[in-house]
Amino acid sequence: MITLKKIHAFTERSGQSAVILAIALYTLAFSFFCLWKYYNFAYNALDLAIISQVFYNSSLGNFFASSIHPPTYLGDHFSPILFLLLPVYWLFKKPEALLVLQTLALGLSSWPLYLIAKKSLGKPLAIFFALAWLLNPFVQNINLYEFSFLPFSVFFIFWTFYFYQAEKIFVFLFFCFFVLLTREDAALVIFALGPLAFLQKRKLRWWLWPMVLSALYFILAVKITMFFTPGGQYKFLIYYGWLGNGFNDILTHLIFQPGLLLAPLFQPGNWEFFLGLMLPLVFLPLLSPVYLLLGAGVFFQLILRAGGASGTLLQMSYASLLLPAVFIAAIFGLKKITGAEKGIYLSSDRSRPVATRQLGFLILIAGLIYSCLTLGPISGIFYKIYQTGLYSSSSAAKQELLNQIPVQAAVAAGYEFLAPLSSRQNLYSFNYAFLGKQQYLAADYSLPPETEYLLLDYDDLIGYQLQYGFNPFYQKQYQAAIQAWPKNLAGFGLIDFRDTAALYQKGAADRFTLIKTLCGNREPLFGSREPLLPTENPGCEELPAEKEITELASDVSFAGFNRVGGEYQLFWQINFPLKEIYRLKLTASDGQKIVYQKIYPFAWDLLADQSLSGKKNIQANYWLGLPPGDYELKIQLLKLGGGGIELDPIRSTANIIDQEIPVGPEINLELIADR
């Protein structure tokens, strides 16, 4: 029978080896998970693509250059730690290398944490905290979400505190310096070491040096970033517009109106964020709040954002700079309970009842496992693999599109394609071309003329509506963009198409036609050469007589269906201009069981131009990703009643539709036999 005494004996004998083994297993497992996610095109939140391209350009000597957020990453963040990581990246020059490096940084962070806990609690509980780090759901979320420089901050922060604890000032300052190199906001953690040292009555040098160095570094880093940002402002201050314009204005308001700091206390999202952060360690950090000072600046940075924080931030990399403070506070919180060097839960101390020790230990274990399974990505990873396999057919089709693009061709791409294409000098994110604006609408944007390929996922058009169309900040720009965006396709030919993924090449002939008017010569309505609908043509033929017209709305009627091989032709009678942005929901069912369901852009969002007028007969063609089988095919015209972008269980961005509003009846197309 396993007893606490036996566990204690094992940890004393083999604990260090157990931690090393756990770090190795974590690194192997999450490197695999990250690579699986990458090869299935699930890194779709921009960060990996942006930073990967920055590394690639830097490896060629063009340091920090970025064509996704032009002209340089220095307009986003100041992260000179890149120079330390660049030699490793240079060996591979692929985004996969960054994912493994990030995993290694998070895994190895467990080691200095183990040493910190060992000094305060003894080896048995130090092992618990090392394993708790590796099983922490927010560590795993950070690992799987995207690539960031912040996990490297975490590694250096733990070493910084270890040498603070050991009172080795020069090594302490050495690691402070490396923390600062990771990103400008890491200075908030180093600055907080000053008040901590002061409260713990350390000598002047322990609190003065961190505060002075971090403050000077933060000012320098922000000045550099502002220099490279359009408009000369630190771009992320947009989140704090409710506090004022610019750093001076914000600081003035906070100093002379301190009541503003009370406003976040009444926002439920901030409480959700705070309680979620504490849950995996069963609120132990609250027992030693002085160490939470290390994360105080970062915490206020997040909760003072417009709209505040939320549980969603815990699924991303935002918690990175907070987790060291949470774990260190938990260590000293537990020490405060025990009042002894070796703790109570795994020690051989018999002054406390065995049941009490067991209960305390079980509560810690239960909180950790519950949080790992419910707040982390592990369950989602295995469920997704169960659903789609290690490599889905959709991913294989997307890779075939990718393989057609020359290695150094200039490409504009949709979200999910950016990371795999990031090892090139000229890469552009199509969402900015769609909007016609740079990030946060800071300046006008258009595709550079040297763009040779467009690799799009038309599913992104639904995402744009959810991301921009229902957001008051972007709403007006979205309404203009949805009408004008097809002009980006002028001069490009559609050379391949898979479900919603489309590959365009400049100057090539169209091999696929998405929509066309029902004219005698079957000319494309919108193709590579015609950016707008053609004018009235007396030669246009009517819809075939056998096609029954079903009015769905005053501006849209369904006029029939045809299938030619894998091409599904839907016929529509449209009274322009369209009054709404419509969506098309396709459902394939086998009896009562739905085997496939997906929402597509209606006519690929190519008919939204409000300058169009008159009645037109339109054919819209789809190449559907239907699974083989015998099933009934139905379509439903929809309007979206709200929604947004959230993170799915594997920490990829996903379209979330709050309300689907049916437009007209559901239409039964046909029974499709096994293909």
CATH number, position 668: 2.60.40
Indicate whether 348 pLDDT > 80. no
* Domain end point (choices 352, 379, 406): 379
Sign (positive or negative) of CA dihedral 646, 586, 525, 556: negative
Assign 183 a pLDDT band (cuts: 50, 70, 90): very high
The whole-angstrom separation of Cα 166 and Cα 117 is: 12
Listed residue (459, 537, 500, 531) closest to 621, CA to CA? 500
> Quick one: DSSP state of residue 382?
H
The whole-angstrom separation of Cα 614 and Cα 486 is: 20
Indicate whether 666 pLDDT > 50. yes
Find the mean pLDDT for residues 486-505: 96
Do residues 115 and 161 lie in contact, with contact meaning Cβ atoms separated by under 8 Å? no
Do residues 573 and 615 lie in contact, with contact meaning Cβ atoms separated by under 8 Å? yes
Q: Does the residue 93 lie in any domain?
A: yes
Q: Among 153-157, 360-364, 637-641, whose mean pLDDT is lowest?
A: 360-364
Do residues 605 and 581 lie in contact, with contact meaning Cβ atoms separated by under 8 Å? yes
Find the mean pLDDT for residues 526-537: 38
Look at the chain and report how many structural domains it folds into.
Answer: 2
Residue type, 324: P
Q: Does the residue 662 lie in any domain?
A: yes
The whole-angstrom separation of Cα 326 and Cα 287 is: 11
Radius of gyration of the chain, Cα coordinates, nearest whole angstrom: 28
Give the model confidence (pLDDT) of 114-157 as tens digits: 999 999 998 989 999 999 999 999 999 999 999 999 999 999 99
Q: Does the residue 62 lie in any domain?
A: no
CA dihedral angle for residue 113, residue 116, residue 120, residue 124, rounded to 10 degrees = 40
Q: Are strands 550-553 and 556-564 parallel, antiparallel or unpaired?
A: antiparallel
Indicate whether 547 pLDDT > 70. no
Q: Does the residue 310 lie in any domain?
A: yes
Find the mean pLDDT for residues 363-373: 92
Block residue for tokens 């350390």: 202
Q: Among 54-58, 516-520, 610-614, whose mean pLDDT is lowest?
A: 516-520
Assign 339 a pLDDT band (cuts: 50, 70, 90): low
Q: What is the mean pLDDT of the chain?
A: 90
Q: Does the residue 420 lie in any domain?
A: no
Look up residue 350 and give its two tokens: 């018999």
CB count, 10 Å around CB of 642?
A: 12
Per the structure, the complete domain to which residue 311 belongs is given by 4-45+68-379
> Quick one: DSSP state of residue 265?
G
The pLDDT score that the predictor gives to residue 356 is 64
The whole-angstrom separation of Cα 499 and Cα 45 is: 21
> Quick one: DSSP state of residue 532?
S
- 403-412 per-residue burial string, b: 16 or more CB within 10 A, e: under 16: eebeeebbbb
Listed residue (484, 480, 502) closest to 447, CA to CA? 484
The whole-angstrom separation of Cα 214 and Cα 220 is: 10
Q: Does the residue 503 lie in any domain?
A: no
Indicate whether 434 pLDDT > 70. yes
Q: Among 1-10, 21-30, 106-115, whose mean pLDDT is lowest?
A: 1-10
User: 632: number of CA atoms within 13 Å, CB side?
Assistant: 10
Assign 564 a pLDDT band (cuts: 50, 70, 90): confident
The whole-angstrom separation of Cα 351 and Cα 355 is: 12
Q: What angle do CA 664, 666, 671 make, to 5 degrees?
A: 150
Listed residue (293, 134, 371, 345) closest to 285, CA to CA? 293
The whole-angstrom separation of Cα 411 and Cα 455 is: 7
Assign 267 a pLDDT band (cuts: 50, 70, 90): very high
The number of residues in the chain equals: 675
Assign 463 a pLDDT band (cuts: 50, 70, 90): very high
Q: What angle do CA 460, 463, 467 make, to 5 degrees?
A: 135
Give the model confidence (pLDDT) of 312-332 as tens digits: 999 999 999 999 999 999 999
> Quick one: DSSP state of residue 267?
-
Indicate whether 346 pLDDT > 60. no
Indicate whether 532 pLDDT > 60. no
State how far the alpha carbon of 286 is from the alpha carbons of 292, 366, 624, in Å.
Answer: 8, 18, 54
CA dihedral angle for residue 247, residue 253, residue 259, residue 261, rounded to 10 degrees = 0
Return contacts of 538-544, CB within 8 angstroms, 24+ apart: 540/617, 542/518, 542/617, 543/518, 543/571, 543/573, 543/617
Spatial strand order of the sheet with 411-413 comes to 427-429, 411-413, 453-457, 501-506, 492-498
The whole-angstrom separation of Cα 261 and Cα 297 is: 12
Q: Does the residue 416 lie in any domain?
A: no
* Domain end point (choices 379, 399, 427): 379
Spatial strand order of the sheet with 515-517 comes to 515-517, 614-622, 567-576, 556-564, 550-553
Listed residue (291, 282, 354, 297) closest to 136, CA to CA? 282
Find the mean pLDDT for residues 467-491: 96
Assign 197 a pLDDT band (cuts: 50, 70, 90): very high
Block residue for tokens 């991303």: 316
Q: Does the residue 410 lie in any domain?
A: no
Find the mean pLDDT for residues 168-182: 98
* Domain end point (choices 325, 359, 379): 379
Give the model confidence (pLDDT) of 566-624 as tens digits: 888 999 999 999 999 999 999 988 877 888 899 999 999 999 999 888 999 999 999 88
Indicate whether 545 pLDDT > 70. no
Do residues 53 and 68 lie in contact, with contact meaning Cβ atoms separated by under 8 Å? yes
Distance of CA 181 to the CA centre of its chain: 23
Portion of the chain with pLDDT greater than 90, in percent:
76
Indicate whether 338 pLDDT > 80. no
50: left (phi over 0), alpha (psi -120 to 50) or beta: alpha
Give the model confidence (pLDDT) of 285-298 as tens digits: 999 999 999 999 99
The whole-angstrom separation of Cα 30 and Cα 100 is: 8
